[in-house]
């Protein structure tokens, strides 16, 4: 949303002591973030109102040679517009001035003196598009002689030295009243500590002749003479529907050829001028936040084949068709709200009118609608049909029902039209909201010390009525504040308008916290592995189906994102390994030749089901993939195992590495013949191993490649900080045994012998040797004896 | 054995190719259908060959003694050199963030990465179908689960879990770090995946002044210097009042005077949110905040591209020892 500061200032007086910069800062600090400020203070420098004194066609061209009066000597300009004529007031961009429409570009276009077809042209006569007042390129703009004289600065006549504030709509989702200049101005008054003066037309009206209207102000107001029928099929769809039939005053349409403030305000607000009638509805929407829609009365009757307007507001039937103003035909869903003429759709409520009842230059009778609709239905309509009009942007914030009638009346006045009939259906009428809050409650929640008078004034300045009631304040909420329901909402108003920055920060007294064990575990692992040359990385939680398949995982086991950014990010990952393999490829290509990358993160699988909160079971994993291009003749498995063992060692956890069972490897890229299950207390908590050849081929990875994936949740309860430090003197002996058995089996045999002889010794691996022609291995270990005797070595050496 | 089967399949492929040629003898109307059928057969055989070749590739592998600690005739394996090791900057900094909050008395609960509509919106006082839900650009799964778009998805759980602590000690103080997701176009300052840290504080007499005090304290400790702070009104359905918290960009980090950066959203917890978690809003008040970690870290280290963080590029990561 764009807010012109000049326009805003028409509704709220800014004290001279408050500069524009300060005003913008205050708006940012106390109303809404100002995303940007467009500075237009010099945009219209050196641009003047001029009179065209003479016109002479240049033969064989579409050009006219003009002499213009710019308030001094006559100047010669060549003009290409068809509507240039003697005596008209036009707008002249003098040499040296920047063409306003190009002001935002990197290289703004500066007008100079130049020759066209041999004639000197000094500056140019401007069209609306060049002046950045819309995209009309059909001719030059004409100025109303009642407004200006030759030599006047355009910027002065139309108050163009302006700052435009850019506001992110999302930041005001809860404030439909601020989607209009008046609502915004009301807030600015409140911020400055001033009482806001409501514009006259919002508080009373003098549009209708005496005796024209009957009925109370709150329910079903209508004109005495009325042939309008309004039926709202379901009251939840439409809180209020006010409609009038009016006759347009021909005289009023005549001024349409002149450049108008309306056209300029629309342009500043990012909208386009369409026609006198439509412009009035749009300007009032920008001013009040209440969208209006104008139907051609005669077309409306023709579509509905009725004698008088029979308006039915109802839900669409699925598939019902409607051709919109932008000439696109939509197929409605049963959520869309339609305005119908005698049950034939003529508008998509709140979003856009229909083509068949569009206002055109021949329109003389108008049906003018001012209504509110269910924001929930309109939100879906907006999404379904991709319609983001200014009107629906406002309706989806929940426009209040309070102002449909007043704004409609003002529109009739602005159009210079005569009201014929009016009907105001108001099914959403309700009593005003009153909130009780005490001064103490306000100060307690804010941490402030504001007195009652200040609080009362602050609220009254923006339209609340406040009455004292014992120690409480009775706060009556104005009808346009659809966001205020409870006392906390009122407290927010006070805190915000008086400035949160005036609250003095204090620190509450604290006790220290307990550490989170899982977080601490990850911290320990991060510190440990990075110390041993490994690199922690983070990869996305979403992966592609292709990646899972490459790693041999079943995509069906993944939760699938239905609105993913791309197919690469469609599935929630089941394991960290595929992502790490992917990054291994990336890094090998960089090239980085040697790395152990690891990640600690969460994974999900459909087969794990839901937890007791009915959300998917979540597992926190640690995974590592290591690779080394230089080591192609070595076995990567043992390096990965060394890293895994280091982690368990650090955490004081006892695990065994046992040959992998086929069942576990299903759905994992590990090669069963070259991988081990990591077992803790008889439970498999992870896998360490090399990857299948087919996986390596799919990922195009080097041969020396291994890794592990461990579930961290299940080791939390087994961690300890115990160090078994043994400073006793030991005597070391190397022992080599020849056997076909596995390393573990050999160690177990040694342990049994030591146990039999009641001898205590540590056992650490040294090497494994195997001759080419032998199926026996020489397994060497180092024994560290506390009480060494030669005899035991003899026994051990002859074990097999 | 496998090789023979593959050979047989290759033979079959040749036969199918021969069959395919017969298409010319067919009337035009039937050709498309026939072509489709032949192609399907061909694809099936090709797939079978691929599967067999894969199996064959995996079959060539020799088994290892996985109980041993080194390969046969190989030296004992070694760790890579300490110099090339690194911690992920986001994680290492998140450890610092958590450390500061812990000193201030905040417990830590990590956020989930897949959650439901209830925790993401309903429990946070978002009205059903309310447009405020659109502001979060959430991803959804087929089951209508949501990879959370903010760590506030944990607020309801935190309030319930610590209710007894609140009743016993008179206060509840928890921070929630975690990974969040938004369906956004990615550029140097926007990522669809990023980290946030949420704070939740409840006591009988807590107020906005305390919230601002805690936040200023945190940022001053994190950036290791005194800071100027500022706020602006914000809107979140789960806090009332709601604000955005800003700090003046420190000079040492390239800031100019008056240059303020939005660091997080915060506010007093909406009474309905407390009530839904079983905490009496007539007795207790609370405040909460949530802000991005990526931006916090980028400012500290002078990084200019958020995409580096999940790039997995070791040339970036190894810069952080």
pLDDT tens digit sequence for A137-162: 889 999 999 999 999 999 999 999 99
Give helix then strand counts, H and E, for chain A: 23, 38
Minimum-distance CB partner of B95 among A446, A523, A541: A523
Residue A618 CA: distances (Å) to CA of A389, A574, A712, B113 = 42, 10, 11, 8
A342 Rama class: left (phi>0) / alpha (psi -120 to 50) / beta: left
Q: pLDDT value at position A203?
A: 67
Q: pLDDT value at position A666?
A: 64
Q: Which of residues 187-216 of A touch B (CB under 8 A)?
A: none
Minimum-distance CB partner of B208 among A503, A745, A770: A503
Asked if B210 lies within 8 A of A506 by C-beta distance, the reply is: yes
Phi, psi of A373 (to 5 degrees): -130, 165
Q: Does B100 touch chain A (CB under 8 A)?
A: no
Q: Does B68 touch chain A (CB under 8 A)?
A: yes
How large is the average pLDDT for residues A781-785? 95
Q: How far apart are CA A289 and CA A591, in angstroms?
A: 59
- Hey, what's the torsion of the CAs at A663, A667, A669, A675, to 10 degrees? -20
Could you give the percent of chain A with pLDDT greater than 70? 98
Helix, strand, or coil (residue A777): strand
Rg of chain B taking only CA atoms, in angstroms: 29
List CB contacts (< 8 A) between A646 and chain B. Answer: 79
Q: In what order do the strands lie in the sheet with B260-269?
A: B107-108, B171-181, B193-203, B285-292, B260-269, B239-248, B229-233
User: What is the least distance, in Å, from the CA of B222 to any CA of chain A?
Assistant: 16
Tell me, yes or no, whether A379 and A261 share the same domain. Answer: yes
Q: Are A398 and A371 in contact (CB under 8 A)?
A: no
Asked if A673 lies within 8 A of B61 by C-beta distance, the reply is: yes
Q: Which of A3, A63, A88 is nearest to A286 (CA)?
A: A3
List CB contacts (< 8 A) between B85 and chain A. Answer: 529-535
DSSP letter string over A220-258?
-EEESS---EEEES-TTT-SEEEEEEEE--HHHHGGGGB
- Strand A344-348, strand A337-341: pairing: antiparallel
Q: A662 pLDDT exceeds 70?
A: no
**pLDDT averaged over every residue in chain A:** 92
Q: Which pLDDT tens digit goes with each residue over A348-362?
A: 999 999 999 999 988
Q: Does A489 touch chain B (CB under 8 A)?
A: yes
User: What is the least distance, in Å, from the CA of B144 to any CA of chain A?
Assistant: 9
Q: Which of A331, A334, A310, A312 is nearest to A322 (CA)?
A: A331
Q: How far apart are CA A195 and CA A465, in angstroms?
A: 12
CA A415 from chain centre, in angstroms, equals 38
Tell me, yes or no, whether A640 and A575 share the same domain. Answer: yes
List CB contacts (< 8 A) between B131 and chain A. Answer: 173, 375, 379, 396-397
Q: Does B70 touch chain A (CB under 8 A)?
A: yes
Minimum-distance CB partner of A604 among B88, B114, B171: B114
Q: Residue A34's closest chain B neighbor by CA?
A: B232
Tell me, yes or no, whether A212 and A361 share the same domain. Answer: yes
Q: How far apart are CA A561 and CA A545, in angstroms?
A: 11
Tell me, yes or no, whether A97 and A172 share the same domain. Answer: no
List CB contacts (< 8 A) between A744 and chain B. Answer: 67-68
Q: Does A527 touch chain B (CB under 8 A)?
A: yes
Q: Does B261 touch chain A (CB under 8 A)?
A: no
Give helix then strand counts, H and E, for chain B: 10, 7
Q: Does A601 touch chain B (CB under 8 A)?
A: yes
User: Residue B316 burial (CB < 10 Å; 0-12/13-18/19+)?
Assistant: middle
Minimum-distance CB partner of B241 among A397, A492, A743: A492
Tell me, yes or no, whether A294 and A318 share the same domain. Answer: yes
Residue A193 CA: distances (Å) to CA of A30, A467, B144, B230, B261 = 12, 19, 47, 20, 27
What's the pLDDT band for B6 if we cut at 50, 70, 90?
confident
Residue A243 belongs to some domain of the structure: yes
Q: How far apart are CA A664 and CA A597, in angstroms?
A: 23
Q: Does B168 touch chain A (CB under 8 A)?
A: no
Beta strands in A692-760, from DSSP E residues, in sequence order: 705-711, 731-739
Q: Does A573 touch chain B (CB under 8 A)?
A: no
* B26 DSSP assignment: S
Residue A509 belongs to some domain of the structure: no
Q: Which of A550, A448, A650, A618 is nearest to B178 (CA)?
A: A618
Q: pLDDT value at position A496?
A: 95
Q: How far apart are the first and last CA of chain A?
A: 88
Q: pLDDT value at position A216?
A: 60
Helix, strand, or coil (residue A97): coil
Q: pLDDT value at position A416?
A: 86
Q: Which of B117, B139, B140 is nearest to B129 (CA)?
A: B117
Structure tokens at A112: 């100079």
Tell me, yes or no, whether A558 and A679 share the same domain. Answer: yes
Spatial neighbors of B255 by CB under 8 A, at least 6 apart, are B248, B249, B261
Q: Does B139 touch chain A (CB under 8 A)?
A: yes
Q: Which of residues 5-44 of B touch A (CB under 8 A)?
A: none
Instruction: Say which CATH number the domain at A786 has.
Output: 3.30.70.380
What's the pLDDT band for B16 if we cut at 50, 70, 90?
confident
- Strand A329-331, strand A670-680: pairing: unpaired
Instruction: Say which CATH number the domain at A472 has.
Output: 3.30.56.10
Tell me, yes or no, whether A528 and A657 share the same domain. Answer: yes
Q: A591 pLDDT exceeds 70?
A: yes
Interface test with B, best of A22, A638, A655 (most B CBs within 10 A): A638
Q: Enumerate the domain spans of chain B.
A: 2-59, 89-317
Q: Which pLDDT tens digit goes with each residue over A58-90?
A: 988 899 999 999 988 899 999 999 999 999 999
How large is the average pLDDT for residues A320-346? 95
Structure tokens at A491: 């407290």
How large is the average pLDDT for residues B239-259? 91
Q: How far apart are CA A392 and CA A240, in angstroms?
A: 16
Interface test with A, best of B128, B240, B319 (most A CBs within 10 A): B240
Q: Does B170 touch chain A (CB under 8 A)?
A: no
Structure tokens at A528: 């440990």
Q: A217 pLDDT exceeds 60?
A: no
Tell me, yes or no, whether A268 and A386 share the same domain. Answer: yes
Spatial neighbors of A562 by CB under 8 A, at least 6 apart, are B140, B141, B142
Interchain CB contacts (distance < 8 Å): A and B: 360
Q: Are B216 and B227 in contact (CB under 8 A)?
A: yes
Residue A765 belongs to some domain of the structure: yes
Count other Cβ atoms within 10 Å, centred on residue A706.
28
Minimum-distance CB partner of A447 among B81, B85, B210: B210
Residue A506 belongs to some domain of the structure: no
Q: How far apart are CA B110 and CA A600, in angstroms?
A: 13
Q: B275 pLDDT exceeds 80?
A: yes
Q: Does A512 touch chain B (CB under 8 A)?
A: yes
Phi, psi of A709 (to 5 degrees): -140, 125
> Given CA atoms B52, B58, B61, B63 in this order, what sign does their dihedral have?
negative
Instruction: Say which CATH number the domain at A399 has.
Output: 3.50.40.10
Interior angle at CA A769, CA A763 and CA A775, nearest 5: 115
Residue A54 CA: distances (Å) to CA of A47, A85, A112, B51 = 20, 8, 21, 88
Tell me, yes or no, whether A471 and A402 share the same domain. Answer: no
Q: How far apart are the first and last CA of chain B?
A: 52
H/E run at residue A321? strand A321-323
Count other Cβ atoms within 10 Å, centred on residue A33.
19
Residue A260 belongs to some domain of the structure: yes
Q: How far apart are CA A777 and CA A745, in angstroms?
A: 13
Q: Does B156 touch chain A (CB under 8 A)?
A: no
User: What is the least distance, in Å, from the CA of A619 to any CA of chain B?
Assistant: 10
Q: pLDDT value at position A204?
A: 61
Could you give the percent of chain A with pLDDT greater than 90? 78
Minimum-distance CB partner of B70 among A445, A563, A768: A768
Q: pLDDT value at position A43?
A: 94
Tell me, yes or no, whether A124 and A29 share the same domain. Answer: no
Q: pLDDT value at position B18?
A: 83
Q: How far apart are CA A547 and CA A558, in angstroms?
A: 12
List CB contacts (< 8 A) between B318 and chain A. Answer: 535
Spatial neighbors of A628 by CB under 8 A, at least 6 apart, are A593, A594, A595, A636, A639, A702, A704
Interface test with B, best of A384, A445, A751 (most B CBs within 10 A): A445
Q: A764 pLDDT exceeds 80?
A: yes
Q: pLDDT value at position A211?
A: 80
Q: Does A693 touch chain B (CB under 8 A)?
A: yes
CATH of B89-317, one of 3.40.630.40, 3.40.190.10, 3.40.50.720, 3.30.930.10: 3.30.930.10
Phi, psi of A280 (to 5 degrees): -60, -45
Tell me, yes or no, whether A277 and A404 share the same domain. Answer: yes
Asked if A692 lies within 8 A of B58 by C-beta distance, the reply is: yes
Q: Which of residues 763-792 of A touch B (CB under 8 A)?
A: 765-770, 777, 779
Interface test with A, best of B47, B52, B60, B64 (most A CBs within 10 A): B64
Spatial neighbors of B24 by CB under 8 A, at least 6 apart, are none
Q: Which domain holds residue A150?
A: 47-157
Tell me, yes or no, whether A573 and A442 share the same domain. Answer: no
How large is the average pLDDT for residues A43-50? 95
Instruction: Say which CATH number the domain at A709 has.
Output: 3.30.930.10
Q: How far apart are CA B180 and CA B310, in angstroms?
A: 13
């Amino acid at each position: 949303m764009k807010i012109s500061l000049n326009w805003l200032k028409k509704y709220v007086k800014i004290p001279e002591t408050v500069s524009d910069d300060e005003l913008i800062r205050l708006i940012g600090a106390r109303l809404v973030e100002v995303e940007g400020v467009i500075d237009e203070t010099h945009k219209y420098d050196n641009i003047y109102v001029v009179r065209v004194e003479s016109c002479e066609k240049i033969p064989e061209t579409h050009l006219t040679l003009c002499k213009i009066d710019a308030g001094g000597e006559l100047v010669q300009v060549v003009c290409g517009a068809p509507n240039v004529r003697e005596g008209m007031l036009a707008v002249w961009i003098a040499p040296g001035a920047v063409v306003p429409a190009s002001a935002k570009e990197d290289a703004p276009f500066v007008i100079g003196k130049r020759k066209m077809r041999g004639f000197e042209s000094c500056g140019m006569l401007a069209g609306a598009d060049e002046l950045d007042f819309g995209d009309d390129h059909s001719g030059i703009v004409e100025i109303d002689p009642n407004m200006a004289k030759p030599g006047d600065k355009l910027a002065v006549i139309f108050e163009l030295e302006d700052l435009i504030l850019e506001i992110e709509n999302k930041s005001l989702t809860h404030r439909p009243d601020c989607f209009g200049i008046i609502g915004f101005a009301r807030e600015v008054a409140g911020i400055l500590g001033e009482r806001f003066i409501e514009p006259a037309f919002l508080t009373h009206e003098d549009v209708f002749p005496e005796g024209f209207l009957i009925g109370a102000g709150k329910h079903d107001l209508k004109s005495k003479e009325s042939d309008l029928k309004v039926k709202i099929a379901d009251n939840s769809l439409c809180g209020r529907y006010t409609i009038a039939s009016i006759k347009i005053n021909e005289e009023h349409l005549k001024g349409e050829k002149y450049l108008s403030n309306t056209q300029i305000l629309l342009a500043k607000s990012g909208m386009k001028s369409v026609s006198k009638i439509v412009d009035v509805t749009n300007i009032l929407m920008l001013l009040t936040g209440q969208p209006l829609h104008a139907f051609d009365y005669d077309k409306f009757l023709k579509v509905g084949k009725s004698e008088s307007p029979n308006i039915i507001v109802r839900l669409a039937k699925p598939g019902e068709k409607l051709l919109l103003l932008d000439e696109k035909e939509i197929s409605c869903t049963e959520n869309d709200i339609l305005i119908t003429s005698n049950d034939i759709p003529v508008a998509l409520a709140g979003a856009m009118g229909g083509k068949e009842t569009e206002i055109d230059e021949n329109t003389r009778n108008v049906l003018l609608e001012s209504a509110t609709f269910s924001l929930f239905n309109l939100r879906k309509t907006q999404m379904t049909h991709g319609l983001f009009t200014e009107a629906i942007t406002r309706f989806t914030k929940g426009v209040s029902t309070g102002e449909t009638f007043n704004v409609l009346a003002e529109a009739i006045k602005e159009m210079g039209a005569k009201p014929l009939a009016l009907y105001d259906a108001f099914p959403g009428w309700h009593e005003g909201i009153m909130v009780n809050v005490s001064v103490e409650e306000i100060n307690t929640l804010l941490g402030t010390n504001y007195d009652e008078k200040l609080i009362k004034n602050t609220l009254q300045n923006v339209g609340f009525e406040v009455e004292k009631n014992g120690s409480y304040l009775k706060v009556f909420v104005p009808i346009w504040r659809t966001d205020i329901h409870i006392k906390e909402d009122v407290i927010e108003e006070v805190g915000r308008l008086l400035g949160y920055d005036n609250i003095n920060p204090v620190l509450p007294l604290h006790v220290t916290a307990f550490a989170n064990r899982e977080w601490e575990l990850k911290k320990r692992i991060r510190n440990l592995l990075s110390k041993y040359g490994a690199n922690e990385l983070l990869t996305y939680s979403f992966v592609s189906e292709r990646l899972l398949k490459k790693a041999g995982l079943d995509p069906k086991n993944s939760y699938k994102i239905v609105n993913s950014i791309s197919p690469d990010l469609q599935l929630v990952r089941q394991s960290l390994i595929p992502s790490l393999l992917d990054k291994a490829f990336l890094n090998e290509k960089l090239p980085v030749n040697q790395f152990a990358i690891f990640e600690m993160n969460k994974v999900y699988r459909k087969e794990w089901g839901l937890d007791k909160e009915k959300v998917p079971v979540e597992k926190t994993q640690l995974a590592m993939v290591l690779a080394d291009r230089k080591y192609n003749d070595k076995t990567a498995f043992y390096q990965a195992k060394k890293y895994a063992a280091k982690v368990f060692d650090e955490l004081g956890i006892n695990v065994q590495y046992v040959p992998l069972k086929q069942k576990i490897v299903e759905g994992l890229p590990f090669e069963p013949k070259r991988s081990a299950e990591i077992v803790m207390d008889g439970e498999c908590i992870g896998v360490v191993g090399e990857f299948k050849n087919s996986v390596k081929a799919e990922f195009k990875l080097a041969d020396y490649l291994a890794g592990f994936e461990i579930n961290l949740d299940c080791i939390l309860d087994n961690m300890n900080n115990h160090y078994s430090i043994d400073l006793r003197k030991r005597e070391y002996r190397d022992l080599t045994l020849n056997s076909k058995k596995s390393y573990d089996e050999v160690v177990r045999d040694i342990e049994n012998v030591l146990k039999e002889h009641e001898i205590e010794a540590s056992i650490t691996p040294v090497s494994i040797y195997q001759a080419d022609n032998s199926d026996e291995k020489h397994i060497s270990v180092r024994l560290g004896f506390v009480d060494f005797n030669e005899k035991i070595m003899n026994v051990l050496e002859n074990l097999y | 054995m496998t090789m023979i089967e593959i050979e047989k399949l290759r033979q079959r492929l040749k036969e199918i190719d021969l069959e395919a040629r017969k298409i010319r003898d067919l009337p035009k109307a039937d050709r498309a259908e026939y072509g489709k059928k032949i192609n399907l057969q061909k694809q099936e055989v090709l797939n079978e060959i691929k599967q067999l070749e894969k199996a064959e590739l995996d079959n060539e592998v020799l088994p290892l003694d996985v109980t041993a600690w080194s390969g046969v005739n190989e030296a004992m394996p070694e760790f890579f050199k300490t110099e090339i090791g690194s911690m992920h900057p986001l994680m290492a900094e998140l450890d610092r963030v958590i450390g500061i909050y812990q000193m201030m008395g905040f417990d830590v609960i990590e956020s989930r990465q897949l959650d439901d509509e209830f925790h993401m919106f309903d429990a946070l006082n978002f009205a059903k179908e309310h447009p405020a839900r659109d502001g979060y650009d959430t991803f959804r799964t087929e089951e209508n689960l949501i990879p959370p778009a903010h760590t506030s998805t944990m607020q309801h759980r935190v309030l319930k879990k610590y209710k007894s602590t609140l009743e016993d000690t008179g206060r509840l103080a928890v921070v929630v770090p975690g990974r969040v997701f938004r369906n956004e176009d990615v550029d140097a300052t926007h990522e669809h995946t990023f980290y946030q840290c949420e704070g939740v504080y409840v006591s009988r007499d807590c107020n906005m002044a305390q919230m601002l005090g805690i936040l200023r304290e945190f940022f001053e400790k994190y950036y290791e210097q005194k800071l100027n702070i500022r706020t602006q009104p914000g809107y979140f359905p789960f806090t009332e009042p709601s604000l955005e918290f800003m700090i003046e960009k420190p000079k040492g980090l390239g800031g100019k005077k008056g240059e303020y950066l939005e660091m997080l959203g915060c506010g007093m917890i909406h009474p309905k949110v407390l009530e839904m978690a079983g905490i009496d809003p007539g007795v207790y008040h609370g405040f909460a905040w949530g802000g991005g970690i990526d931006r916090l870290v980028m400012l500290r280290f002078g990084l200019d591209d958020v995409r580096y963080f999940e790039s997995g590029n070791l040339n970036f990561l190894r810069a952080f020892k």
